[in-house]
Amino acid sequence: MKISTDQISALNKKQEDSYNSELDFLRNKFAKRGIEVDEIIHKVADFQVAIPSWALGAGGTRFGRFSFGGEPASLEQKLDDIGVLHALTKTAGAVSLHIPWDIPSDVKAIKEVAKSHGISFDAMNSNTFQDQPNAKETYKFGSLSNTNAASRDYAIQHNKDVINIGKELGSKSLTVWLADGANFPGQNNFQTALNHTENSLKSIYKTMPEDWKMFIEYKPYEPNFYSTVIQDWGTSFMLSNACGERAYTLVDLGHHLPNTNIEQIVATLMLKGKLGGFHFNDSKYGDDDVTVGSIKPYALFLIFNELVYGMKNNPQNPDLSWMIDASHNTKDPLEDLLQSLEAILIAYTQALLVDQKALKNAQQENDVVKCQEILQDAYRTDVRPVLKAAREKSGAAVDPLQAYRQFGVRKDLIKERGTKTMATGL
């Protein structure tokens, strides 16, 4: 299943006029404030988000899995699916692999498939939260923090193996997420567990190539319900500082206790030059991993407002590695990812429209009401014409979801792969 540029431009032609008048309205409105919509169109067209190899099946990350039909049965097919997303949006030009869920059996062949779709290899994800069939050591009581040196070494070695696979693929970063923790008080010694984790991470960090980054992901609970070793951004920040310059904190939106002020965490980390990666999703209760922007779009906008501010004002912070970490079991997974990509670009565009100069003045004058008005004026702007123009510019479909349905992608995938399919991995 491959979508050609001709197919896309033929479809786009039919839509050309429909958004231009709305775009002109936005251009005029924001030019008066010194905000150039055409510059924003450029930025939006350039924005790239990695798709995780585990989000392409109608899986959900836990509990029941129900087939949607036409799901990918191999890494090659997963790349083909990302190829569809990228052809339609020109925003999904990277994949993030989870090892060993998606070990490439033939690196050269996998690289070829990726190249044919214009896909690069973003952060590699290691997995020390599950025992694999022939595992020599168990992670039942932790991996990098385990009281048992043999288990720790085994987990360290796995991370080194992941780096080596990533090197062959052309990836430049490793994401470490640990499930390590305790289910009951007294089960582990907090200080020992943290020390072990720090030493293990340092040992992995030392073997990374000089041009690689390490992203340390945190999460307050689940699968452990009493304590998690890397429970919050502060712990991740401390560990990344201990590892070195090229170790950073990774923020996953679902990895916070309810009502945590994530935008403030983003601002603090960027100020300190330590925000490295981002996992997008949305949630109502915990790490729900539902479609980006489906539950709390205003929170997403406020987070992007800090990201945009940081990208402009914090040269000490590196370029961020963006990824969608969402998947569940009721929607067509590709439509779900298209909706997530749309939500990300909407929040990004709205944040770019914030009148930063006026906001700064209002903050200086402590005009609280005006500050809120400025933010909400940007948030309440329908920016979809900007997204359409950005897509037209980059050769993507002006309306990717509509194009996906019109081209009958899922029908073709089912014809090709069958109805009773289950994506590999997980």
- Give 47 or 129: the residue with its C-beta nearer to ligand LRH: 129
**Binding flags for ligand LRH, 79-118, as an x/- string (CB under 6 A):** -------------------x--------------------
Tokens 């070494």, residue? 153
**Binding flags for Mn ion, 362-401, as an x/- string (CB under 5 A):** ----------------------------------------
Considering only 198, 325, 342, 399, the residue that binds Mn ion (CB under 5 A) is 325
Of 400, 380, 398, residue with least CA distance to 390: 398
Q: Which of residues 380-419 bind ligand LRH (CB under 6 A)?
A: none
Considering only 71, 180, 217, 263, the residue that binds ligand LRH (CB under 6 A) is 217
- Give 250 or 397: the residue with its C-beta nearer to ligand LRH: 250
Residue 252 sits in the site that holds ligand LRH (CB under 6 A)? yes
Q: Which does 125 bind (CB under 5 to 8 A by kind): Mn ion, ligand LRH, none?
A: ligand LRH
- Give 325 or 332: the residue with its C-beta nearer to Mn ion: 325
Residue 180 sits in the site that holds ligand LRH (CB under 6 A)? no
Contacts of 327 (CB under 8 A, 6+ apart): 52, 54, 55, 57, 59, 60, 61, 289, 333, 336
Considering only 78, 158, 213, 279, the residue that binds ligand LRH (CB under 6 A) is 279
Q: How many helices (H) and strands (E) does the chain have?
A: 16, 12
Of 240, 300, 306, residue with least CA distance to 270: 306
Rounded CA-CA distance 410/404 in Å is: 8
Total binding residues toward ligand LRH, as defined by CB under 6 A: 11
DSSP 245-287: TTEEEEEETTSS-TT--HHHHHHHHHHTT-EEEEEE-B-SSSS
Query: In the complex, what is the shortest distance from the CB of residue 15 to ligand LRH, in angstroms, rounded to a whole number?
Result: 36
- Give 52 or 385: the residue with its C-beta nearer to ligand LRH: 52
Contacts of 283 (CB under 8 A, 6+ apart): 253, 254, 289, 290, 295
Q: Which of residues 332-361 bind Mn ion (CB under 5 A)?
A: none
Rounded CA-CA distance 42/31 in Å is: 16
DSSP 210-237: TT-EEEEE--SSSS-SSEETT-SHHHHH
Assess contact for 216 and 176: CB atoms under 8 A.
yes
- Give 219 or 328: the residue with its C-beta nearer to ligand LRH: 219
Of 8, 15, 26, residue with least CA distance to 386: 26
Stretch that binds Mn ion, among 64-72, 121-129, 244-252, 338-346 (CB under 5 A): 244-252
**Binding flags for ligand LRH, 115-154, as an x/- string (CB under 6 A):** ----------x-----------------------------
Residue 98 sits in the site that holds Mn ion (CB under 5 A)? no
Proportion of the chain in helix, strand, coil states, percent, rounded to 5 = 50, 10, 40
Of 242, 227, 259, 216, residue with least CA distance to 126: 216
Cis peptide before 223 (omega within 30 of 0): yes
- Give 3 or 97: the residue with its C-beta nearer to ligand LRH: 97
Residue 232 sits in the site that holds Mn ion (CB under 5 A)? no
Query: In the complex, what is the shortest distance from the CB of residue 323 to ligand LRH, in angstroms, rounded to a whole number?
Result: 8
Q: Which tokens belong to 98?
A: 């989870």
Assess contact for 88 and 8: CB atoms under 8 A.
yes
Rounded CA-CA distance 336/410 in Å is: 12
Considering only 122, 137, 287, 336, the residue that binds ligand LRH (CB under 6 A) is 287
Cis peptide before 100 (omega within 30 of 0): yes
**Binding flags for Mn ion, 251-290, as an x/- string (CB under 5 A):** -x--------------------------x-------x---
**Binding flags for ligand LRH, 40-59, as an x/- string (CB under 6 A):** --------------x-----
Chain residues binding ligand LRH by CB under 6 A are 54, 61, 98, 125, 177, 217, 219, 252, 279, 287, 325
Interface residue list for Mn ion (CB under 5 A): 252, 279, 287, 325
